[in-house]
Chain A
């Protein structure tokens, strides 16, 4: 039982390159989230999904796209990376309904040069 996993753990991109971050979960949770964490700031929500085939914008969605084709996977894409997207990205999952906890993955550290 791996819980929430993220791939890759580290990545370095050049400005303008594209990439996809993968979040996978084996907890059968309905809700999935992407956050970013920057020095001196709290975690901020990028996008989230309440189920397969659905996505919604969070606080800082610009420059990112997401897809949830399978319940267990949530993909975060950067079409044209910018230095401002240098950050640590965390995926989280939660079971459906109120009064439930979000569980986080180990993170992906992305540097955009």
Chain B
């Protein structure tokens, strides 16, 4: 059974204070690992897809990295508008790429001005 565990559950940072969110996963062959951002009352918004260990992707203040067992979402010098819940999800290999995603519970990030 595929599993995704995110830590911490909640994180409060001061504006400008860099940190990392963790996503540990077990999957029967990884097709892709996805990071989403979710604002209150909204649907998940796509951030990154990572496909193989060693891969890194960046977008503004966010950088996602992937190993064979976990992924990190690094946030550098965050701003209050980065406050959101960050979701990690995996898609297993097989199924022709049509399989649903297995999600973690998310990390609720608050950036204080």
Write the residues of chain A forming the contact surface with B, with a CB cutoff of 8 angstroms: 4, 31, 33, 35, 40-45, 48, 50, 58-59, 90, 94, 96-107
Contact = CB atoms under 8 A, between A and B. Distances in A.
Interface of B: 4, 31-32, 34, 36, 41-46, 49, 51, 87, 89, 96-98, 100-106
A42 B104 contact: yes
Nearest to B100: A45
A102 B101 contact: yes
A42 B85 CA distance: 11
A51 to B, nearest CB: 9
Contacts of A45: 100-101
- A interface: dominant SS: loop
A50 B95 CA distance: 10
The 5 closest A-B pairs by CB, nearest first: A45-B100, A42-B103, A98-B97, A104-B43, A43-B103
A97 B91 CA distance: 12
B73 to A, nearest CB: 16
Nearest to B42: A106
